[in-house]
Each structure stands twice: as structure tokens, then as C-alpha cells.
Amino acid sequence: MTQWGEMAPYLLGLRLDGRRVLVVGGGRVAQRRVPALLDAGASITLVSPSVTPALDDLIADGRVVWERRPYQPGDCDGAWLVHACTSNRDANIAIAAEAEAKRIWCVRADDKDASAAWTPASGRVDEVSVAITAGGDPRRAAGIRDAVVSALRDGTVDARRHRTKPVGVALVGGGPGDPGLISVRGRQLLSQADVVVADRLAPRSLLDELPPDVELIDAAKVPYGRFLSQERINELLVEHAKAGRFVVRLKGGDPFVFGRGGEEMIACAKAGVPVIVVPGITSAVAVPAAAGVPVTHRGVSQDFHVVSVHVPPGHPESSVDWKGLARSQGTLILLMAVERLAEIAETLQGDGRSPETPVMVVQDGTLPTQRTVIATLSTVAERVTAAGLRPPAIVIVGDVVGVGQEIEMVRAERVP
């Protein structure tokens, strides 16, 4: 394999929207790189006999095409960029050789000197992207990148390794999905972590900014699929904190809104581990807002109810007062409800809510992939199925949906 000399690399920002990118390997390196490639709009083919739960989740969402097998010659055909991320050095050599022969740029994760291209330590603040190579040294590049990104984000210039590091565990709410909606405090603590335990709905593009020496523990709980038990998550937080590492438990939304943060705080308290709680923007409020719908509005709704529908109405484990919600004139914000919409709609109508009550369902709220369906209580299940909406999604029930439509109409009229 070619060994490149000491010449400085020519830095280039690749516009990958719609272009095929091949990633070979389904482990932690691929898990770090795939979200950034998706953010760039790449059409990703992943070749690996197995994948991590986080990658499995992206595959289930249809965002990545998975070839469930080892690499074989010809896989590079049609690719604009190749990432060789396997744990087998011989396989990485073969992948890079094929890419080189076909004049396709290839990044080898296991050997920077034999790699035709390097993946920079990257970060983004608003419209400014930062990418650092540092001669192929990932730790040095990440340290410099952290300093630049932090200076852009909050006005400081200290690199991650120069900050006074907290101790114990931080329960950090990552917000509803858009990485820009995590709090400044949450972002600061994330940049100081030795260990990050990340949920499936945490803003995963932020994980790509982590230095390579940070241990990333995937706590993704894929619905009806693989998951890390809550008991094991609690044990990991305590074990790492007691070993002297600063642990960030990164969650989607807010840690204490259906985030089981209370359970984790109790586990740490029993073990004598100090805990920092960083509230996050809950999707229950943020996603309706991102879709232009206020959860309350003067003269329309003066209360709103946030409900987790992890079990359907009538289930023995359900503690939800569905009759009371049906009688209420307030806004209903339903989480984990998409797959039970037909039962929910039938229950609410049977208990007194009008079939004509407006309903909005928002998938991937605050993200570039956000999609919405507007219907009534009597038609929403059918329309959501026809549109192919999938979790994660928020269901908004109430007249405030009409307020959101009014806002959209006023905006449209003001456009010249």
C-alpha cells in the first residue's frame, strides 16, 4: 500500500448531498462517522456482518443501506468516498487498494500514514464549520477543534484539556434533536467528559465532535429491538464515576421528562456519587413550537397535558386518565403515540372529544428531516399510516393546531 510523505494535505469541503459513500465496518468508528455523513446528505451504504445498536437504529429508519456481510471486491463501485473502518487490517488494506485503483478517496481508520485522506476533527457553530487535521493526529486535532468551537460558541478560548474538570455524573438534557438546541452548560460539560453514555434520541451529531480518548457508551433503546437495560445504565454511571472519570449521561429532551433521570439520580445518590443536573428543552414543547404550534394560546387553550403512551389506553399498566383528558379543553401532547394512534383516537372520541378536533403529528421535530401531517381525530390514524410517519414523533391534539395553521397563512400572505 502507498505510504504518503510529509506533504501537508490539501483541505477541501466535500458537498456529499445525494452522493454515494461506502462505509465498511459496523463498530464504534463507523458509529462516530455515519451521523456526520448523514448531516452532509450522503447516500450511505454500510457493509458489515454486524452493527452497533445506534447504527441499527439509523438503518431501521431507512437512512442507511446495510449490506449484512463482509467486504468483497467491487463494493467501491460508484462511491465518491470510502471509509475503511473494520477491525481487520488486511481488510482495510484491500478496501483502500480497491479505492486507490478506482481513483476514489479512501479514509483508513487504522493507519493514518497509509490513508489517502484523513477525517478531520470537525465542529459547527451556526454557519461556521471547523475542520482540523493536525498532521493526522486525532487527539491534537480534537483539542484544537474544541478550543475554536468553544470560542465561537460561548466566547471562551480554553481547550477541553485545560478546563477544570467536574467530578461525578452530569445528567444532561440534549434537547429535541437539533444539536444547536442543547444548552451552553450542557455543551460545556459534554466537552469535558471522560465517558459519555448516550441515549438514542440524544443529538448524535455532537458525538462526532468528541475527542477519540472519550469513551462512548451506546445506551440506545431501539423500540422492540436491542437495548441496554436501565439497571445496567445505572451501574455504568456509578462504576465509571467511582473510578475517577467524569461521566455525562446525554439524553434527548429533558432528563426528568420521561427520561428516567430520577432513577439515575437515585442510583448515584445511593452510591455517594455527586450529580449535576442540566435541564434540556423537552420535545413536548419544542417540537410543536418548531412546527409553528403554540401549546397554549389566549382564548384557545390555557392548559396542556403531556402524556407518555408507552402502553395503549385500557392497558393494565396505564395510569392515564383518558376520560379526563377527553373532557378537557386543553392541548394534549402525546409522546410514543404514533403506533397507537387508532386506539387513542377511538378512546378520546368515545369519551367525548369531538371527531373534528384538529391533530398534528410531527416526525423528527427540529431536524432537517422534520415532517408533519395535519388531520382530525377521526382521520389522523389513517393519514399518518398513508404518509409513512415513524417514531420519533409528537402528536398534538387540540384547537391550537388551528392557531398554527393561521400563523402559517399569515406568513404566506406576507411573502412578497
Query: So which residues are the catalytic ones?
Result: 199, 221
In degrees and rounded to multiples of 5, residue 171 shows phi and psi of -90, 105
In degrees and rounded to multiples of 5, residue 372 shows phi and psi of -135, 150
Residue type, 231: E
Pairing of strands 64-67, 121-125: unpaired
Peptide bond into 274 cis (omega under 30): no
Identify the bridge partners of residue 123 per DSSP, sorted by sequence position: 130
**What letter does residue 192 receive in the DSSP assignment?**
T
In degrees and rounded to multiples of 5, residue 169 shows phi and psi of -125, 140
SS3 content of the chain, % helix, strand, coil (to 5): 35, 20, 45
Pairing of strands 393-397, 358-363: antiparallel
Half-sphere exposure of 204 (CA within 13 A, CB side): 24
Task: For residue 110, give Cα distances in angstroms to 83, 211, 232, 269, 401.
Answer: 11, 16, 31, 40, 52
Instruction: Give 306's contacts (C-beta < 8 A, 6+ positions apart).
Output: 257, 282, 284, 333, 335
- Residue 76's nearest CA partner among 47, 33, 50, 36 is 47
Rg (CA), the chain: 23
